[in-house]
Amino acid sequence: MDFLLPNLSVVLFGNSSSVQFGQENVLLGEKQMNMENTEIFKIVPFQRKISERHVSVINMAGLHETENLDNLVDQILNENEIHAFIFVVRLSQLTDADKMGLEWLQRVFGDNVFQFVIILFTYEREEECDTIIDDLKNNPVLEQLVEKCGGRYHTCNMMMNNQSEMRELMDKIERLFNENKQQCYTGDMNNTVLQRQKQNKNGKFIIKKENMERITTSVRRHEHKVCAG
């Protein structure tokens, strides 16, 4: 029986144009057909064996532009504990769609999700990869993005067919898991986020109501003084 390192569950999100699907793609394989009706759409993680690890890959690339994803998120977190969220970005080309993807992740999963995020910069030509440090220094937006994710990033070609690059990515995910004290992102964490969001909304309503009561009381006192005078 082969020795296998710990199983890993990862969510890949971001702009789907940053990767090329195909049989040679070690992480994603062939592109999966998505159903248009998100009410009945079910994301089925597909299993890969990468660097002696069983990896459960949940591909959500491009889905942040879809409405009514609450049921999908609930389904994913009920059935999986996530070791890492992989934010895939085309190297040197941070688009509005990329920014939307990151904003979506923060809105849905909360600020704490960034401790589980690894940015995956993809390139088409190897020479692009040689200048990534300079690109980050010369692009404050990209630099801030990397800092927000704890300085964690990795590079690979768009085809994701380089075994060495994929092995190193798996090593970084496992290292992240250990840095997080072997804690995954779970449904309980997401429930906490939802409760806080609900409390914040209720809090805003209460504050507004209290302000209105104070204004009403002040107006009545003023009117009483005018009548008395």
3-class secondary structure, 180:
coil
Pairing of strands 117-123, 53-59: unpaired
- Is residue 2 scored above 80 in pLDDT? no
Greatest CA separation found in the chain? 96
What's the pLDDT at 6? 61
Contacts of residue 69, Cβ cutoff 8 Å, sequence gap at least 6: 38, 63, 108
pLDDT digits (tens, 9 = 90+) for 168-218: 999 999 999 999 999 999 988 888 888 887 777 665 433 334 443 443 444
3-class secondary structure, 107:
helix
Q: Which residue has the tokens 């589980």?
A: 116
Q: Where are the domains of the chain?
A: 5-185, 197-229
What's the pLDDT at 24? 92
CATH of domain 5-185: 3.40.50.300
pLDDT digits (tens, 9 = 90+) for 45-82: 888 998 888 999 998 887 766 666 667 788 888 888 99
